[in-house]
């Protein structure tokens, strides 16, 4: 009888070792206590997340219960005090896979989730995470544990960023949530206008909705480089704004200065190198992740450095698209790597 018991216990323990549970334990406290109700809408057709290998064993990535219950319980654990808003998380994609090489493997996580505020007229978009993260077995043999930690970190950042976000003025119905990306993008004036409004734009939302800050004018130096924005007695360095339009041309601020914004059928993009967008990570040799998107060819662009004048180059930068839903970069998969 004891032998049977220990055999069953060993079987149970062995099975437990073949799963890695997503541990939603980090604090996602809303300091303003603004949320009254929280809802998860899991629109994934396939609720399975995926598997990776640990030596010869297959490890399945799972929620303790399911996405709806686990994320809801997690939210209310850290937000017991209720406010006035109805917060909705739309889970669109959560996949884990493994790319097996000759001597190592690459674990890959794809996660896309969005936050909305539900009002009487429908759902108002606030923020989203649309991310691809990779882990190499040459860095750690525990791919499953590392990927699970990344899931928690991405969800945590999604919540915390949404607390500070301002809901879009446009509303959509619950039935239209699966198509919110195309529906809301069609409402953004920057994609419809043929003549850009001169001036400065304080954030990505004002730029994509084509609403510059009122009463600002641009100041250039003797080389024609924009350096400041002026409003009455106020003078603000141009780097303090998200973007600006000068002589009908839009520009995006980046760490080394600013660069022209282009438009094609896929959206808005800049041409830049890794060193220009991430000078600190480049100098330290730390690798960076990338958001969803494929490798796209480049066109000639110009980066303007407010301290050293302008410089032009020929095709040594990549097309880097700007996500209209976050204002962040959609980096090509092999961005910054030598070809």
Does residue 293 belong to any structural domain of this protein?
yes
Using the predicted structure, report yes or no on whether residue 105 has a pLDDT greater than 70. yes
Does residue 250 belong to any structural domain of this protein?
yes
The total number of structural domains that make up the chain: 2
| Alpha helices for the chain (secondary structure H) | 2-16, 67-78, 143-164, 180-185, 204-208, 274-277, 279-284
Using the predicted structure, report yes or no on whether residue 287 has a pLDDT greater than 50. no
Q: How far apart are CA 116 and CA 86, in angstroms?
A: 8
Distances (CA, A) of 223 to 94, 189, 219: 50, 32, 11
Predicted pLDDT at 54: 84
Q: Domain boundary at 183, 208, 240, which?
A: 183
Q: Domain boundary at 142, 166, 183, which?
A: 183
- Do 41 and 135 lie in a common domain? yes
Predicted pLDDT at 240: 97
Predicted pLDDT at 338: 58
Does residue 337 belong to any structural domain of this protein?
no
With beta carbons less than 8 A apart as the criterion, state whether 277 and 329 touch.
Answer: yes
Q: How far apart are CA 133 and CA 273, in angstroms?
A: 20
- Give pLDDT tens digits for 247-272: 999 999 999 999 999 999 999 999 99
Q: How far apart are CA 274 and CA 318, in angstroms?
A: 9
Does residue 6 belong to any structural domain of this protein?
no
Using the predicted structure, report yes or no on whether residue 33 has a pLDDT greater than 70. yes
- Do 199 and 174 lie in a common domain? no
Predicted pLDDT at 1: 52
- Do 178 and 291 lie in a common domain? no
Using the predicted structure, report yes or no on whether residue 16 has a pLDDT greater than 90. no
Predicted pLDDT at 5: 46
Predicted pLDDT at 56: 81
Using the predicted structure, report yes or no on whether residue 15 has a pLDDT greater than 60. no
Predicted pLDDT at 283: 40
- Do 179 and 198 lie in a common domain? no
- Do 207 and 311 lie in a common domain? yes
| For residues 296-311, average pLDDT | 35
Q: How far apart are CA 91 and CA 286, in angstroms?
A: 30
Does residue 101 belong to any structural domain of this protein?
yes
Predicted pLDDT at 280: 72
**Would you call 12 helix, strand, or coil by DSSP?**
helix
- Give pLDDT tens digits for 124-177: 999 999 999 999 988 888 899 999 999 999 999 999 999 999 999 999 999 999
| For residues 93-107, average pLDDT | 91
Q: 66 lies in which domain range?
A: 17-183
- Do 93 and 124 lie in a common domain? yes
321 against 283, higher pLDDT: 321
- Do 286 and 324 lie in a common domain? yes
Residue 104: CB partners within 8 Å, gap ≥ 6? Answer: 136, 137, 138
| For residues 217-233, average pLDDT | 95
CATH number at residue 91: 3.30.160
Using the predicted structure, report yes or no on whether residue 301 has a pLDDT greater than 50. no
- Do 239 and 262 lie in a common domain? yes
Does residue 7 belong to any structural domain of this protein?
no
- Do 145 and 23 lie in a common domain? yes
Contacts 24+ apart (CB under 8 A), 183-190: 184/125, 184/325, 185/324, 188/324, 190/268, 190/324
2 against 277, higher pLDDT: 277
Give percent of the chain with pLDDT exceeding 90: 74
Predicted pLDDT at 281: 54
| For residues 69-87, average pLDDT | 96
| For residues 36-40, average pLDDT | 97
Predicted pLDDT at 77: 97
Predicted pLDDT at 26: 96
- Do 282 and 263 lie in a common domain? yes
Does residue 158 belong to any structural domain of this protein?
yes
89 against 288, higher pLDDT: 89
Residue 183 dihedral angles phi and psi, to the nearest 5°: -65, -45
- Do 78 and 145 lie in a common domain? yes
Q: How far apart are CA 274 and CA 317, in angstroms?
A: 8
Using the predicted structure, report yes or no on whether residue 197 has a pLDDT greater than 80. yes
| For residues 31-40, average pLDDT | 96
Using the predicted structure, report yes or no on whether residue 101 has a pLDDT greater than 50. yes
Predicted pLDDT at 332: 85
Predicted pLDDT at 57: 87
Q: Domain boundary at 128, 149, 183, which?
A: 183
Q: What's the predicted TM-score (pTM) here? A: 0.83
- Do 229 and 276 lie in a common domain? yes
Does residue 91 belong to any structural domain of this protein?
yes
């Amino acid at each position: 009888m004891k032998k049977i018991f220990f055999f069953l216990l060993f079987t149970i323990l062995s099975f437990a070792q073949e799963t890695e549970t997503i541990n939603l334990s980090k604090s996602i406290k809303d300091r303003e206590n603004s949320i009254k109700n929280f809802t998860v809408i899991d629109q994934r057709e396939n609720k399975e997340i995926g598997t990776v290998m640990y030596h010869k064993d297959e490890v399945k990535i799972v929620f303790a219960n399911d996405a709806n219950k686990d994320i809801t319980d997690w939210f209310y654990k850290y937000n017991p005090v209720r406010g006035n808003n109805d917060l909705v998380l739309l889970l669109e994609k959560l996949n884990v896979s493994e790319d097996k090489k000759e001597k190592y493997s690459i674990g890959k996580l794809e996660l896309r989730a969005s936050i909305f505020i539900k009002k009487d007229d429908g759902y108002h978009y606030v923020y989203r995470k649309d991310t691809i993260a990779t882990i190499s077995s040459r860095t750690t043999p525990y791919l499953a544990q590392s990927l699970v930690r990344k899931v928690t970190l991405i969800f945590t950042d999604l919540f915390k960023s949404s607390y500070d976000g301002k809901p879009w003025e446009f509303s959509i119905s619950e039935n239209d949530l699966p198509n919110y990306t195309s529906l809301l993008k069609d409402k953004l004036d920057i994609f419809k206008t043929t003549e850009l409004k001169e001036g400065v734009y304080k954030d990505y939302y004002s730029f994509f909705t084509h609403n510059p800050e009122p009463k600002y004018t641009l100041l250039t130096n003797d080389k024609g480089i924009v350096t400041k924005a002026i409003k009455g007695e106020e003078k603000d360095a141009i780097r303090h704004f998200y973007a600006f339009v000068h002589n009908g041309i839009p520009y995006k601020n980046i760490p080394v200065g600013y660069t022209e914004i282009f438009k094609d059928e896929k959206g808005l993009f800049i041409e830049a190198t890794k060193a220009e967008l991430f000078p600190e990570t480049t100098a330290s040799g730390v690798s960076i992740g990338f958001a969803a998107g494929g490798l796209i060819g480049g066109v000639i662009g110009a980066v303007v450095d407010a301290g050293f004048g302008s410089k032009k180059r020929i095709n040594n930068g990549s097309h880097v698209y700007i996500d209209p839903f976050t204002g962040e970069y959609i980096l090509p998969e092999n961005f910054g790597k030598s070809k």
